[in-house]
Amino acid sequence: MAAIYLPPWRIDVDRRPGVEVPTPLRALALVAARALDAAKAPRPASLGLILSDDRELAALNAEHMGEKGLTDVLSFPFLPPSAFPAHAGQNAALSAAPGPQHAFALPPGRRLHLGDVVVSVERATEQAREGHGGQSGDVRWSAADELRLLVAHGVLHICGWDHVRPEEAEAMRRLERDVLGS
């Protein structure tokens, strides 16, 4: 695992054995940090970024989401959506529930861990190769670009962003484009 410090963030990148990543880990950590900044996440904080394959994502999807089959990214937030500033990409039903910003007190000098994002590098590569990438699913670009988008998308989910309703989806897509600089 590589701990990449981009103050005020620490991005803990875990590349699973046998997973080949088409871009430097630091580039992915920079995307994650930009997404945390854009979402105004509590700081200083850490985030886990796990780069995996289809098999692990399918197992996690079944176990945690109750969905069978492949998926490209899953997010496991440690804070409720109410811990983040209100925004247009927030699921109103989820953010209405009151909750503390932190469920526990941290020891001095410790960072709040916001959650973990798990990305299938295998799925990102396949989507890019088949021209099923991007926010619309019909973009032809590199596997590195697709992976960057999935990291941004997963981090925004950690920060309470959603795309269930059309207005949420548009706001989230707009922020993803801003984070990626496109």
- Whether 64 is covered by a domain: the verdict is yes
Q: Which of 52, 49, 65 is nearest to 10 (CA)?
A: 49
Q: How confident is the model at residue 141 (pLDDT cuts 50, 70, 90)?
A: confident
| 142, pLDDT greater than 90 | yes
**Chain centroid offset of residue 17 CA:** 21
- Whether 103 is covered by a domain: the verdict is no
For residues 90 and 168, give the distance between their C-alpha atoms in angstroms, rounded to a whole number: 6
**Residue range 7-36: average pLDDT?**
97
Number of helices (H) and strands (E) in the chain: give both, helices first: 6, 5
Q: Which of 77, 89, 80, 83 is nearest to 158 (CA)?
A: 77
- Whether 104 is covered by a domain: the verdict is no
Query: Tens digits of per-residue pLDDT, 93-130?
Result: 554 544 444 555 667 777 899 999 999 999 999 999 88
Residue 18 half-sphere exposure toward CB, CA atoms < 13 A: 7
Domain that holds residue 120: 2-98+109-180
For residues 127 and 141, give the distance between their C-alpha atoms in angstroms, rounded to a whole number: 9
- Whether 166 is covered by a domain: the verdict is yes
pLDDT at 57: 96
Query: Tens digits of per-residue pLDDT, 152-163?
Result: 999 999 999 998
The residue with greater pLDDT, 91 or 109, is: 109
- Whether 172 is covered by a domain: the verdict is yes
Q: Give the CATH number of the domain where residue 21 resides.
A: 3.40.390.30
Q: Which of 80, 110, 97, 148 is nearest to 10 (CA)?
A: 110
- Residue 9 has phi, psi (to 5 degrees) of -105, 150
Write the DSSP symbol of residue 83: G
Q: Which of 74, 54, 83 is nearest to 117 (CA)?
A: 74
Q: How confident is the model at residue 61 (pLDDT cuts 50, 70, 90)?
A: very high
Is there a contact between 32 and 47 (Cβ–Cβ < 8 Å)?
yes
Q: Domain count of the chain?
A: 1
Rounded to two decimals, the pTM is 0.89
pLDDT at 131: 83
Q: What is each CA distance from 13 to 19, 51, 101, 163, 173, in whole angstroms? A: 13, 7, 25, 25, 24
- Whether 39 is covered by a domain: the verdict is yes
pLDDT at 94: 53
